[in-house]
A and B are shown apart, each in its own frame.
Chain A
Amino acid sequence: NAGVTQNPKFQVLKTGQSMTLQCAQDMNHNSMYWYRQDPGMGLRLIYYSASEGTTDKGEVPNGYNVSRLNKREFSLRLESAAPSQTSVYFCASSEAGTSGGAPGELFFGEGSRLTVL
């Protein structure tokens, strides 16, 4: 049981390049999330998907796009990378769906460290 798997683990980009961070979960969870972690800022929500076919903006969505490809996969795309997007990115999943109940526990991947030069 792999849980939440993120790829790539490390990436270096030049300003203006594009890339996609891949995330997959094998726990049959409805909800999936993308967070970024920066020093002194904690984890900030970029986008989330409450269920297959839906996506919503979080706190810091600018410069990012997401795709909920199916129930298992939720990708994060940087169309034109900027140095301000240098961060550690975490994908997470949970049982919470559109029922409106408490989200409960988030299961996180190991993180993807992105550096934009």
Chain B
Amino acid sequence: DQQVKQNSPSLSVQEGRISILNCDYTNSMFDYFLWYKKYPAEGPTFLISISSIKDKNEDGRFTVFLNKSAKHLSLHIVPSQPGDSAVYFCAASDNNDMRFGAGTRLTVKP
């Protein structure tokens, strides 16, 4: 069973606009949530994270929002840039067990 779900396989936005990537999870024991970015032929790289005790974490153009009651988190990228085009994975962890979503391919058009 997939405990972390990213229901949108792809997203296309215009440069300068906001990108919103969504993620849902089912396991209420998850206590830490992360977003990873992956370019072709490379390993995923960490982007931003949030603890379950917070509802927002911001790092430059990237903001992650957590809604625990809805078991939902989202990543906002503002403004989007062509270099942001990549696959974004949502991940959730419970101690050493980290589960990933299927990924969303973001394309930012110039």
Taking CB atoms, residues of chain A closer than 8 Å to B34 are 105-106
What number of A-B contacts does a CB cutoff of 8 Å give?
Answer: 66
A116 interfacial by beta-carbon distance below 8 Å:
no
Q: In the bound complex, what is the Cα–Cα distance between A53 and B72 (angstroms)?
A: 36
B93 interfacial by beta-carbon distance below 8 Å:
yes
Number of interface residues of A (CB under 8 A): 29
Within 39-63 of B, Cβ neighbours of A (below 8 Å) are at 41-46, 49, 51
Taking CB atoms, residues of chain A closer than 8 Å to B45 are 108
Give the size category of B's interface with A: 20 to 34
Asked whether, in the complex, the Cβ of A50 is within 8 Å of the Cβ of B101, the reply is no
Partner of B43, one of A48, A90, A100: A90
Taking CB atoms, residues of chain A closer than 8 Å to B49 are 104-105
Within 5-24 of B, Cβ neighbours of A (below 8 Å) are at 6, 9
Asked whether, in the complex, the Cβ of B43 is within 8 Å of the Cβ of A103, the reply is no
